[in-house]
Amino acid sequence: MQKGRAFLCADAHPEEYPTVQAVKEMGRLLDERTGGRLGIRIYAGGQLGSERDTLEITTFGGLDMNRVNLAPLNAIEPMTVIPSLPFLFRSTAHMRAALDGAPGDELLASLNRHGLVGLCFYDSGERCFYNTKRPIRTPTDMTGMKIRVQNSDLYVAMIKALGADATPMSLGEVYQSLVQGVIDGAENNWPSYESGRHFEAAPYYSLTGHVMAPEILVMSLSRWNKLSEDDRHTVRQAARDSVPFMRALWDKRVDESRTRLLAAGVEANEVDDKNQFIDLMRPVWDRFVVTQDQKRLVAEIEAMGGGA
């Protein structure tokens, strides 16, 4: 590899976001461990285009690395649907244990046949419902609500199963749509709920924790194949070592957002019985978990949940 050649990496999140900072930390580790021979130059804030666009570029080797949400990968690799299944993870600790362990390794490896090397998972928080009308304590509280979702068949199916109407739209449209009554609510984590100012229009935040899908850092397989065996090990280890760094930043950010929003008057509530929500998800799982490999991996992850 040419001396001093930095890996080029894209990230849709802004400069200060924990995933961007984690990739920078990975770059620092690479620089330190290779005497400046390897490093990372990251283009944050969507400078290089949407996640779907940059993912395609990475697949063809035009970008060395990319930090993306799992959603764009769902269409090309069925195994990546699994971490997005509603109520698969019983807690953040369960999610982290599964993704740090054998199930996570298998998910990362599933990308190889698509021209990508999965390096590590980063947290994306617990997604919860928020709306303009009332606290959600039971699924019936959602009946007829218009809820914004990502452009994902899985998310649409989940909302429909809960008795609400799913409205796919980009994140940038959510605030105005809440204000204008185009939608009644949405779902996301505390930091996104705050940074998008959605709490100003939708002050009811219900702690469903229905999805804990992670984000993922991938590398172009063609770039990976040009590395020596030692450099591959160094890159993979630096990626893994950036994960606890990211999680510490993420946990701090969640705590800060929660504290600020509760002080601003957001009404947060626990649901009466999470099992009422979980029971409605079985048809959704049946629709999206169809192969034997998917079913096996889901069972492995569930078994790791224990009493979490």
d(CA 207, CA 157): 20
Other CB atoms within 10 A of residue 8 CB = 19
Q: What is the pLDDT of residue 250?
A: 96
Structure tokens at 23: 């990739």
Residues in a beta bridge with 89: none
Decide if 220 contacts 61 (C-beta within 8 A): yes
Q: What is the pLDDT along the chain (308 residues), one digit of tens a residue?
A: 345 679 999 998 889 999 999 999 999 999 999 999 999 999 999 999 888 899 999 999 999 999 998 888 988 899 999 999 999 999 999 999 999 999 999 999 999 999 999 999 999 999 999 999 999 999 999 999 999 998 889 999 999 999 999 999 888 899 999 999 999 999 999 999 998 999 999 999 999 999 999 999 999 999 999 999 999 999 999 999 999 999 999 999 999 999 999 999 999 999 999 999 999 999 999 999 999 999 999 999 999 986 54
The residues pairing with 205 across neighbouring beta strands, listed in sequence order, are 130, 268
Q: How far apart are CA 211 and CA 213, in angstroms?
A: 6
What is the residue-wise DSSP string for 2-70? Answer: -TT-EEEEEESS-TTSHHHHHHHHHHHHHHHHTTTSSEEEEE-TTTT--HHHHHHHHHTTSSSEEEEES
Task: Report the predicted TM-score, pTM, of the whole model to 2 decimal places.
Answer: 0.90
